[in-house]
Amino acid sequence: MGFQTILDVLPAQLRGRVTDLVKGDGDTARSGRNALEVYAIRVLSAGIAFLSHIILARWLGAHEFGIFTYVWIWVVVVGSIGAIGFDTTVLRFVQEYQTKGALAELRGFLHVGRLIAFGIGALSAGAGIGLITLWPDAIDQQYRMPLVLALCCVPAFALMDYLDGVGRSQFWMRLALLPPYILRPALIFAFFGLAVTAGLQKNAEIAVMAAIAATWSACLVQYLLQRRALAKIIPAGTRAYKLSFWVSVSLPVLMLDAFELLMTNLDILLLQLYVAPDQIAIYFAAARSTALIAFVQFAVTAAFLPRIAAAFAKNDYGALSEFLRTGCKWTFWPSLAGTLVLVALGKPLLWLFGPEFTAGYLSMCILLVGIMARAAAGPSQGVLVLTGRQKAAAVISFGTLIVNAGLNLVLIPAYGLTGAAIATSVAFGLESLAALIVANRAIRHAVEMDETRGRNEQLAVL
């Protein structure tokens, strides 16, 4: 079905708004097209990941699949913070340096970012393996070896996160997103399938080995393709470094990313303290079944943040405010439609993992409430980061993380999987409300300051 066909079946008023947003020539229209492209990639990614998780769950069984998902969550958390915030601030600094023509600083930032992401990722992996080796009793024996193996993915995972940010800063959505969200999950499934075909044992350790091979392969492909693309637009030359400044801006973003990752995955990490691996697997299946809805916000944010960064660099606060309003609309309404469909089809989808996985349906529905709260806030948190309010964003995330942890520790022992879902949804709702309020206030303050500055300049001329 083509785009025009989709438009034809929409109501006239909605058709006109979508046409204006997507088919025009302005920045908003280009952001809309980018959002649709990102969403298409993430939908395809979700389909691949969903299918591979179903097959892995069927092959491994709930127990081994629960072990695999638990250790992979640790890879996601540790790997995603390996770039220490450079994967997000790259959107700000690359846009700023390109706008100003500061090519030496641009080359320096891109070079330092790659080194930091890979180096911190490697140090984090080594530290994790060392801790498990020195204190083996700190983690249950059934998780120990799979986790040690999984940490070997972290350097490549961290570098891919940074390269993702570089690609989005240039609006190269395919180059940014296809390697981590299409190629990597597809290779995990392919490598594990080859292992099974070769007669290797179907357990979590073999699945983790497949993930290691897939992550490093996808990282190499992304790095080589992106390096070639950058060489075409950034001429060779000297590099200038402002490391202390870059780090000072990126560290609050690191805290924000860490809080965000922990809040998104804390329920699964804490479930390990109270439930068996098969229950973790059921909850993971429920949470990942909601991923297609959560990807709407990711797609809109990924598409709009480069435009937001460019508007902020030009002090165009009117455009900044419009991007936020439009981003919220683009996030909320598709998320609502998808949520209604998922509620209707949730049990059959969970059954695909195995008959026992339908026990996660209630948890899935509760988690969808939190996702809708986030959808209503759109790219608000990204606006805070890219307009210099990263400390405020970090405070919001830290506060909601504390609430999330406290609720999980209280509700999981009492209500199990349902308690974890309630805790996560409440935290998402509080975080989204706070981020939206602060982002709107920040934009209004910037507009007022700009207007005051303009009046003062006029008075000075008179």
Which tens digits make up the pLDDT trace of 185-208?
A: 889 988 998 998 898 888 999 999
Query: Looking at residue 457, what is its pLDDT?
Result: 55
Higher pLDDT, 29 or 278: 278
Taking each helix axis as running N to C, give the angle between helix 27-80 and helix 317-351, from 0 to 180 degrees, rounded to the nearest 10: 60
The pLDDT of residue 27 is above 70: no
Residue 387 clears pLDDT 50, i.e. is over it? yes
- Across 85-99, 355-369, 428-442, least confident range: 85-99
Predicted confidence at residue 459, as pLDDT, reads: 52
Residue 24 has pLDDT above 60, yes or no: no
Torsion sign over Cα 388, 389, 395, 400? negative
Asked whether the predicted pLDDT for residue 105 surpasses 50, the reply is yes
Q: Say yes or no to pLDDT of 13 above 50.
A: no
Report residue 256's pLDDT band, with 50, 70 and 90 as the boundaries: confident
pLDDT for res 25: 56
pLDDT of 456? 57
Q: How confident is the model at residue 450 (pLDDT cuts 50, 70, 90)?
A: low
**CB 73, CB 143: distance < 8 Å:** no
Instruction: Write down the pLDDT at residue 250.
Output: 84
Maximum average pLDDT range among 21-35, 53-67, 113-127: 113-127
Dihedral-angle region of residue 435 (phi above 0 means left; psi in -120 to 50 means alpha; beta otherwise): alpha
pLDDT for 10 beyond 70: no
Amino acid at 137: D
pLDDT band at 171 (very low <50, low <70, confident <90, very high): confident
Asked if pLDDT for residue 340 goes beyond 70, the answer is: yes
pLDDT band at 255 (very low <50, low <70, confident <90, very high): confident
pLDDT (0 to 100) of residue 32 = 56
- Rounded to an integer, the average pLDDT of 429-444 is 87
Confidence (pLDDT) at 324:
83
Question: Stretch 21-31: mean pLDDT, rounded?
Answer: 54
pLDDT tens digit sequence for 143-161: 999 999 999 999 999 999 9
pLDDT at position 2 is: 42
pLDDT-above-90 percentage for the chain = 37
pLDDT score of 84 more than 90: no
CA separation for the pair 331, 416 (Å, rounded): 31
Give me the pLDDT at residue 63, please: 92
Query: What pLDDT digit, counting tens, does each position of 264-321 carry?
Result: 888 998 998 899 999 999 999 998 888 778 777 777 776 677 777 777 777 777 777 8
First to last CA, the chain: 61
pLDDT tens-place string over residues 213-253: 999 999 999 999 999 999 888 888 889 988 888 888 888 77
For the cut 50, the answer to whether the pLDDT of residue 51 exceeds it is: yes
Q: What is the pLDDT of residue 129?
A: 93
Tokens 């609309």, residue?
A: 329
Q: Note the pLDDT of residue 11.
A: 42
Residue 371 banded pLDDT, cuts 50, 70, 90? very high
Compute the average pLDDT of residues 102-122.
Answer: 92
- What is the predicted pLDDT for the residue at 35? 59
Average pLDDT (369-388) is 84
The pLDDT assigned to 331 comes to 85
